[in-house]
Amino acid sequence: MKEKIEREFKKLCKSYKRKGVIGFSPLKEAELHPIQKKYLLRNLSTFDWSKPITAISIGVFYTREEINSVPDKWVTKGTNENSWNIYSQACGELNRILNNIASNLAEKFAGISEQATVEGYTRKVKQVEEYYGICVSHRVFAEAAGLGWRGKSGLIITPENGSALRLSTIFIPYEIESTGKEFQGCGDCQACLDICPFLKNEKNYRQNCLLRLKNVGLQNEVCGICIRICREALKK
Ligand code: SF4
Ligand code: SF4
């Protein structure tokens, strides 16, 4: 089953001319926020919870060109015409690709897929906590499945492409062994903390980041500076 899913994922990535990563972890091992657990119980209500459930974590990478369109220093404002929008548009494209791949895999393997992101919700949400009850944290499953480690930026850092990827999760009612791995982690790097004024304030960084995404002025509500910086830091 694992190999079949991996093969199918590779094929789908290829059809979108994208590279990606995939991993597996038992749902029962995931450390979920209680509100998210409730959401998941509701969403996976057709599954028999007394039997094993596996979370399939998938990630699709941004290209180098897309990441290099993001400024490599702190910039407060973007514009609608700015080349930074190459990244902004790629973010929307990756979400669509992930949603298609996830629903395709779910259909083929009797699973249930989660959307890559809750489309259009950044505009409506005022507090990050509002997200908790309407989606699952793809990062939790990506970390458990060994796609990468949790970086100082709070993002999943893959050995292949740093944090330059977007994630989605599919749940299947079968047992597949965990692909979780140990990574060395960020070490003494703190490039993302040095560039983003919000990341230093660990407690409120998510809320401050959300407000910045709303105000940065790009075509989609994104920023990505910590993602570009991380990719460069890993290459050194
Ligand atoms: S995406 Fe958020 S955390 Fe990353 S640099 Fe921009 S504001 Fe900071
Ligand atoms: S920039 Fe450095 S410290 Fe920040 S997440 Fe990437 S590797 Fe970790």
Q: Along the 236 residues of the chain, how does pLDDT read in single tens digits?
A: 999 999 999 999 999 999 999 999 999 888 888 888 888 888 899 999 889 999 999 999 999 999 999 999 999 887 777 899 999 999 999 999 999 999 999 999 999 998 887 555 555 555 556 556 667 889 999 999 999 999 999 999 999 999 999 999 999 999 999 999 999 999 999 999 999 989 887 777 888 888 888 888 888 888 999 999 999 999 87
Cα within 13 Å of Cα(177), Cβ side: 3
Count of structural domains, the chain: 1
Q: Quote the DSSP letter at residue 202.
A: G
For 9, the domain range is 2-235
Does ligand 1 lie within 6 Å of residue 198's CB atom?
A: yes
Does ligand 1 lie within 6 Å of residue 212's CB atom?
A: yes
- What gap in Å lies between CA 85 and CA 71, rounded to an integer? 11
- What gap in Å lies between CA 165 and CA 79, rounded to an integer? 23
pTM: 0.91
**Alpha-carbon Rg for the chain in angstroms:** 17
In this structure, the residue with its CA closest to atom 7 of ligand 1 is 209
Which residue type, as a one-letter code, is found at position 57? Answer: S
Name the residue of 212, 213, 227 whose CB sits within 8 Å of the most ligand 1 atoms, as the mutation to test its pocket: 212
Q: Say how many Å lie between the CA of residue 68 and the centre of ligand 2.
A: 17
